[in-house]
Amino acid sequence: MRVCLLLLFVVAGGVSLAQEAGSTVTGVVKLNGEPRRAKTMNIPCPHCAPLYPRGMAREDLVVDEERNIRGAFVYVKSGLEGKKFPVPETSVLVEMKGCRYEPHVLGVRAGQKIRLLNRDPHNHCVHGIPFDNREINVALTPGQDFEKSFDKPEVMIRLKDDVYPWMSAWLGVVDHPFFAVTGPDGKFAIKGLPAGKYTIEVWQPECRPATHELEVGGKEPAPMEWRLELKKD
């Protein structure tokens, strides 16, 4: 059975003074074993198809030559109960560009605005499919945007497009600022975590979620290394 190892990249959006006073949790994520062949697809959109002469690469599992995995969501699953953190006033941007959602995976705070922006020369129909929050389904003309927030934590919410079914993105909605998404090199850093005991979870669409127990306090914790099993076909 193949296994993935995940690294996380710090999510932008500002770090509060309270965060700066805590510890920084870092780690790395790789694929353990031979990576499967990257999948591509020919898309039937006349505007976007010329952008991908060799086909559009799928983003479900992106692995580089060193088997680092991009686009995994890492967050504190438990250990922050009873603590409150201010919700950022700035919005998080999700763009429709080249018949893709950019970014493919992102984190956002519960109650924080998400700005959906159509940069393509044709219409899109954004369909958010949560289980714990209210569903969204909105049509966007070229250049049009729409703001939405999800009030309840939920990992993960899928965004799809009802016109272009290959388009998808994933939103990790959490009630604190301690989360990250793996970058192209597979690395991550979660800054400012207060002293305490935590359960850290890693989510990736093609792998089974995995958790790790961590105690923070005193010196900086050692870098974390994750191994995730791929889901069965």
Torsion of CA 69, 100, 202, 35, to 10 degrees: -30
Q: Is the peptide bond before 224 cis (omega within 30 degrees of 0)?
A: no
Q: Which of 4-13, 126-135, 219-228 has the lowest mean pLDDT?
A: 4-13
- Whole-angstrom Cα distance, residue 80 to residue 18? 14
Q: Which domains does the chain have, with CATH numbers?
A: 1-85+178-233 (2.60.40.1120), 87-175 (2.60.40.420)
Q: Tell me the per-residue pLDDT of 19-47, one tens digit each, with 9 for 90 and over.
A: 446 889 999 887 776 777 778 999 999 99
Band of the pLDDT at 7, cuts 50, 70, 90? very low
- Whole-angstrom Cα distance, residue 191 to residue 10? 8
- Whole-angstrom Cα distance, residue 7 to residue 226? 7
Q: Tell me the per-residue pLDDT of 50-85, one tens digit each, with 9 for 90 and over.
A: 999 999 998 988 878 888 889 999 999 999 999 999
Q: Burial level of 38, CB count in 10 A (0-12/13-18/19+)? A: exposed
